[in-house]
Structure 1
Amino acid sequence: MASLGVNIDHIANIREARHTVEPDPVPMAMLAELGGADGITVHLREDRRHVQDRDVELLRQTVRSRLNLEMAATEEMMAVALRVQPDMVTLVPENRQEVTTEGGLDVVAQLSTLAAMVEKLHNSNIPVSLFVDPDATELEACRDSGARWVELHTGRYAEAEWKEQPYELARLNESTAIARQFGLRVNAGHGLNYQNVEPVAAIPGMEELNIGHTVVARAVAVGLQQAVREMKALIQNPRPSFLFGQTIG
């Protein structure tokens, strides 16, 4: 049964749109936990476009589930992680011009750099996950980096036309199996919503789904606690889907 990590970046996005003090993502994280979130995820970007250092520091003091810090693989972000000591670090690619993360890390090309960062974080007892596309070559490189977790990028599945979704779901299904064969634990996220999450939650071996935008959008109508409750119910009791079980031809 997959757990739910709630990404609260978009709470900070609303605040930064007016450069004011509200809404504050810190008490909102508490509401997400009250709604059943198994973890809180924040992405501290290098340009600080939404989440700020203060947010991460206060969340470290107040989150009672677990705090997952998404960050670029840079020395600046490494220093933040070592100071704050989150429960997990997820290394992600960053592009200053992107609206949101557009794809997975190129672990193959950056293996030596990422392996050094993984080792340093592990030496501080911080588990590391690498955000990657569902690709066997990348997953093999993740294993070689020393990381213990991967987070599969679900963007292509989430954005696919209905006739292409079975293929993209099959990629996620097979990549999860491959990752587990490599000894990696598997999370997933990006673009998942209330309409498409159940087939991904039903993948054998899937441990956690990190979901943000759709939960915050739903919270505008029903409140954050209720939005989290509704998403967690879908993840923990996914209905069988005609998409599931397809293989790549």
Structure 2
Amino acid sequence: MNGRTDQPLRLGVNIDHVATLRNARGGSDPDPARAARLAQQAGADGITLHLREDRRHILDADLSAVIDAVTLPINLEMAATQEMQRIALSHRPHAVCLVPERREERTTEGGLEVAGDDNRLREYITPLRDAGARVSLFIAPDEAQVEAAARVGAQVVELHVGAYAEHCAAGDDAARNAELRRLFAAAALADALGLEVHAGHGLNFDNVGPIAAIPEVVELNIGHFLIGEAVFIGLDAAIREMRRKMLLARM
């Protein structure tokens, strides 16, 4: 494989925080399945949702409803637990992205520790792949983690760009550029090892450009910002503007 900036760049829209809004009050509104349909109409390439162990936003019924609502590929983010494996094998989403998960965190903090957990993750991944799911690991842009992801049988890595996003927000150009170099190097290594490269976490209109320009990255997964921006300009407009900025950066 060799990364090229003329590769198509897909946008996966994470609808978790539509469910967060619904759960803040209870009831059925706003509906995550409706958000998934709107995202599809706006040109999203896939729908991402994270079924957490504590069910703080997406619920089991939402997963079924979203699968029924759209024809787009579904990317199920989940912890590497037996419960989640059973759910994934039952629902058979297009892709499964294994993420670290701690109950006290607000959002997914840091990447999955793949290195040192090779045997367990290899055994965990095998039945998911056998069922037809593309298995992705959400990891830090670290050489050891990328190499471990290839060893355990993942087909995809999603690079955690949260540190980059934080440095952008803080206006720390030196730290931002250093993190960008790490991301470019990790993406190149992953591509050389035969892994498809995705990226996500903390991306917005202002910081997406340099990540979209990484040649080996073929998919960005963006959620919180798009759902927040939808409050002001609507989900359709938010998705279309994000796609525009991604395309400009790629060109």
Counterpart in the other structure of 1:99? 106
1:53 aligns with 2:60: yes
Counterpart in the other structure of 1:20? 27
Q: 1:90–1:128: 8 Å Cα contact kept in structure 2?
A: yes
1:186 aligns with 2:180: no
1:86 aligns with 2:93: yes
Counterpart in the other structure of 2:3? none
State the shift of 1:239 in Å.
Answer: 7.1
1:211 aligns with 2:222: yes
More helix by share: 2
Q: 1:192–1:214: 8 Å Cα contact kept in structure 2?
A: yes
| Deviation larger for 157-166 or 37-46 | 157-166
Counterpart in the other structure of 1:138? 145
Task: Calculate the TM-score normalised by the size of structure 1.
Answer: 0.94
d(CA) in 2 for partners of 1:77, 1:173: 31
Q: Residues 183-213 of structure 1, C-alpha deviation per residue, up to 9 Å, x if partnerless? A: 1110000011110001100101111000001
- AA at the equivalent of 1:111: D
Counterpart in the other structure of 2:4? none
Counterpart in the other structure of 1:220? 231
Q: 1:3–1:236: 8 Å Cα contact kept in structure 2?
A: no
1:43 aligns with 2:50: yes
Counterpart in the other structure of 2:210? 199
Stretches of 4+ aligned residues off by more than 2 angstroms? none
Q: 1:4–1:232: 8 Å Cα contact kept in structure 2?
A: yes
Unaligned runs of 5+ in 1: 241-249
Q: Residues 12-63 of structure 1, C-alpha deviation per residue, up to 9 Å, x if partnerless? A: 0000111221001001111011111100000000000000000001111122
SS in 2 for 1:41: strand
State the shift of 1:162 in Å.
Answer: 2.8
Counterpart in the other structure of 1:173? 184
Work out which of the residue numbers 38, 45, 48 in structure 2 matches 1:31: 38
d(CA) in 2 for partners of 1:155, 1:224: 23
d(CA) in 1 for partners of 2:87, 2:142: 30
d(CA) in 1 for partners of 2:135, 2:250: 31
- AA at the equivalent of 2:64: E
| Deviation larger for 230-239 or 180-189 | 230-239
d(CA) in 1 for partners of 2:66, 2:89: 15
- AA at the equivalent of 2:121: L
Q: 1:215–1:227: 8 Å Cα contact kept in structure 2?
A: yes
SS in 2 for 1:129: strand
State the shift of 1:64 in Å.
Answer: 1.3
- AA at the equivalent of 1:15: R
